Amino acid sequence: MPNSFLPREGLTLEAAFAPFRLTLLQPLLSGPLLLAAYRFPTSLAAKWPFLRTFEDLLRSHRLKTGLCVLFCIGLLRKINKTLNKLVLNNFTNDKTWDWSKELVLITGGSAGIGALMVKIFAEKNITVVILDIVDPPETISSLPNIHSYKLDITSSTSLSQVATQIRTTHGNPTVLINNAGIGTNKTIFSSTEVEIRRVFDVNTISHFLLVKEFVPAMAKANHGYVVAVASMASFMVHAQNVDYACSKASALAFHEGLSQELKGRYGAEKVRTTVVHPTWVRTPMISKLLEKRNFTDFVLQPETVAESVVKQVLSGYGAQLILPARLSLMSGVRGFPSWLQESMRNGVNQVLNI
């Protein structure tokens, strides 16, 4: 577990920047200081001479300029955050969430990030259904309010049968977390057709199948939540990771399209959607990569990703989560000049050459 001051990953840029972000970039702090710099009450300095030191400081031109910059940046951050929340949630509130009655369905919930999310929901006494190709370990299956179904989510026939059983036994899921994902770490030439299709079936096509099974009920009730776990690979492709990156870019497009259809075709403006883009996560999928001596990229702990997703779901609002936040600029990489885009890809084209 992280300590009180630092995240699990240690002293990250986000952690180092937090005190600054929580103080001087808060308009409610920088604003009054800026006002005081321009309208310092001279009468107070005359009454209490010790305040003259602050008067001289506040009247400094450099301080005024600095406070003005901080106030503007802080205000723009607040406006941007508010607009993101309002637009991504269709300017609507959904106050009907009752987590004692909601049903969360997580694919790939038997291990990794999925299992961690299951544990967090279970700790909050929220009922969870796991769909996975393997049975969960006893540490997961023994948790209260946890139900698991073993199946291949890429099989529409098996999924349809299990979905009927879930609806009959537990009711309609109100939260769907498309978490299951696989990769091959092979070049285009060395990948077989079966392997390529399997990556797309798990990472993209299953999203279609699961949404078709469970989201119509959410749309009808105008209440629900769908999470797509994508990746930073949605924006940046590495050599020897093309199938995975393509499938995660597809998952992002699916998320965006689903959001549009829910509000534009079904009037389900309160069905929330969130897409998650983690960078490298310390899971068995990248175990060989972590053994490379020259691998220095930032790596997230799986608990960090799981907690971020659960926190967002429990907020009742949809969002786009980029983890860590410092990589948000990468979401616009395809709008960069071509020379810069290709230079960035060139810089990482040996990372997966294990």
With beta carbons less than 8 A apart as the criterion, state whether 309 and 229 touch.
yes
Give the integer Cα–Cα distance in Å for 100 and 349. Answer: 47
HEC string of 138-150 equals: HHHHCCCCEEEEE
Active-site entry in 186, 244, 270, 317: 244
**Catalytic site includes residue 266:** no
**Catalytic site includes residue 101:** no
Residue 130 DSSP SS3: strand
Give the integer Cα–Cα distance in Å for 316 and 263. Answer: 17
**Six token digits for residue 198:** 């399997």
Residue pointed to by tokens 């200081």: 33
Return the closest-CA partner of residue 215 out of 169, 270, 165, 170: 270
Active-site entry in 248, 263, 266, 317: 248
Q: What are phi and psi of 181, to 5 degrees?
A: -160, 150
Q: Nearest-5° angle of CA 74, CA 298, CA 183?
A: 120
Q: Which residues are catalytic?
A: 244, 248
